Amino acid sequence: MALPTDFSSPAPVKVVIAGGFGVGKTTFVGAVSEIAPLTTEAVITAANHGDSTYGVEQKTSTTVAFDFGRRSIDAFTLYIFGTPGQERFWFVWDDMIRGALGTIVLADTRRLADCFASIDFLELREAPYIVAVNRFDGAPAHSDEELRTAIQLPPHVPLLHLDARERYSSTRALIALLEYRLNQPADRTSGGSHAHH
C-alpha cells in the first residue's frame, strides 16, 4: 500500500488486528475506537470444540466476521479491523489484509503458539506486521529476546507490550505500526518467510 503524500486532510488508512482465539482483538478495537465499535460476536457453541480456551475459560462469545473501529491520529484516520480468531473464519482474512497499511498481531504469553498461524499467514503473503504482547493478569513474563526466539520474529519487526483494555496503551501500538511503516524502505514490506514447527 502506498502511503499518502497529501496531508491537507486526514488520510484514510486501513489497519488489521490479528491473533489467536481470545487474545484481546475485540477488546483492543473497543479501547482505541472513537466511534462505538461494530462487533460481530456470537455465543460460543459446540462448533468451537477445536479451540483452546486455556486462559480464557470465561469467554462466552467469539468474533465471527470482524470488529470495526475508527481512530484519528495526527494526519491519519485509521480504519481498524479485528479479525476473527477462529481458524474456521479465516476465509475473510485475505480480504481484510488487502490494502492494509499493516497488521498488529496480538500475542498472549500463556498461549504463545496461538500467534504462529497469524504470523505465518502474513509472512506467506508478504504483508507487513508488528507483534504486540497483550498483558494478561497472571501471565508469565518473558524478556523480549526470549519472546523473539519463541516466535521466530525477524529482527526488524517491532515487538511491543500493551494492555488491550487501556486506550493509551493500545493507541501506542497503532502509532508504533504507523512509525514502522513510514520508516520502512519502499521495497521491503515484510520479514521474509519463516515457519513454525
**Is the predicted pLDDT of residue 148 greater than 80, yes or no?**
yes
Domain that holds residue 161: 11-47+58-182
Using CA atoms, how far residue 104 sits from 11, 15, 17, 164, in Å, is 19, 8, 5, 12
**Is the predicted pLDDT of residue 49 greater than 50, yes or no?**
no
Contact 19, 105 (CB under 8 A): yes
pLDDT of residue 68: 86
**Is the predicted pLDDT of residue 11 greater than 90, yes or no?**
no
Cell of 73: 491520529
pTM of the complete model? 0.80
Inside any domain, residue 187: no
Inside any domain, residue 188: no
Inside any domain, residue 2: no
Q: Write the CATH number for 106.
A: 3.40.50.300
Average pLDDT over residues 99-110: 96
Inside any domain, residue 130: yes
| Strongest mean pLDDT among 27-41, 78-92, 135-149, 174-188 | 135-149
Inside any domain, residue 138: yes
**Is the predicted pLDDT of residue 165 greater than 60, yes or no?**
yes
Average pLDDT over residues 82-101: 80
Inside any domain, residue 105: yes
The DSSP symbol for 88 reads G
pLDDT of residue 40: 62
**Counted domains in the chain:** 1
